[in-house]
Amino acid sequence: MIANFFSKSKPVNIFNLVILLFLYYAVASIMKAPEQLSILYFIQRLVFFSCFIIMLIVINFILKKNNLTLDNLYGLLLIVLLLGAFSETMFTNKIIFSNLILILSYRKVYSIKSGINIGAKLFDAGFWIGIATIIYPHSILFIFLLFIAITIYQKVYFKNFIIPLIGLITPLFLYFTYAFYFDKEAAFYDLFNLNIGLDFTSYNQLKLLMPITFLITITLWSLVVVSPKIVLVSNNLRMSWNILINQLLVAILVVFIAPLKNGSELFFLLFPSAIIIANFLQKSQSSNFKNLILYLFFAISISVYFL
């Protein structure tokens, strides 16, 4: 059964996840392929696929290092299934790279609780958010997650609020210097012209409506069931859970105001929602229930290709 198979983070199981992701990616790439195929197209696809592999490796490191889940692969499995369900997330370059950079920022955010090298971690997190902002301007909103983390982890000092801002400004300043030197200031100023798109008609398509509805339902259910249990456990886990919820809220805001609504913007939801649901599954005592949820995700991720 799928729940038992991914209940342990064994190398063979991680390899199977990579194969599953490759199948999703290959099918989606073939469906989006131009009429005249070229070697360059396949090289590009392989390069981007390697980015997803790097993403999974970094996420797995974050989960283990910060104990966001137990020793299982439910979180990574759900991320792969959600990538399959929202295939457009695998083809919008700016969103792919901005999320890959933001994941490096999350690594620093969740490690603040250790109390070691706080200043360096705050600067690094702000720095990565600054780079992600250059790629996808709406990523700047995740700076608020960093300020929330400072508050939750009780590191509320004036310098701790200034350091991430310095980190954020550093890549922006370097980009401005580049733009000024090559007379491309307009491109720099466009970063702060956050186009807001409130047209959600594309979500009425069944291939988006079905997985979005299921994801929202299971995520809310997970929050309601798991949150009261987290409150009763250790302080570190409770604080990390609060960070995760706030990360989900910031991601929802980014998705809500994203100028283009084609499903690719849902990439920002993958990390927090998958980890929240993974905690829900691992706390369930029923193997049949866990299998049911995972098989439903799997079925939806396949059915969208036929809608």
Please tell me the least confidently modeled range out of 5-14, 48-57, 137-146. 5-14
Q: Which residue has the higher pLDDT, 271 or 198?
A: 271
Whether 92 contacts 264, CB under 8 Å: yes
The share of the chain scoring above pLDDT 90, in percent, equals 67
Question: What is the residue type of 25?
Answer: Y
146 by Cβ neighbours in 10 Å (0-12 / 13-18 / 19+) ranks as buried
Closest CA to 267 of 48, 84, 126: 84
300: Cβ–Cβ under 8 A, 6 or more apart, which residues?
85, 210, 211, 214
In whole numbers, what is the pLDDT of the chain averaged over residues?
Answer: 91
Which pLDDT score, from 0 to 100, does residue 18 have? Answer: 93
> What 3-state DSSP class applies to 279?
helix
* pLDDT tens-digit map of 232-270: 776 678 899 999 999 999 999 999 999 989 999 999 999
At residue 74 the predicted structure's pLDDT band, cuts being 50, 70 and 90, is very high
> Which residue in this structure is represented by tokens 């036929």?
306
- Across the range 205-223, mean pLDDT stands at 95
* Distance separating alpha carbons of residues 146 and 153, to the nearest angstrom: 10
- Across the range 56-83, mean pLDDT stands at 93
The share of the chain scoring above pLDDT 70, in percent, equals 99
- pTM attached to this predicted model: 0.94
Closest CA to 7 of 192, 282, 303: 282
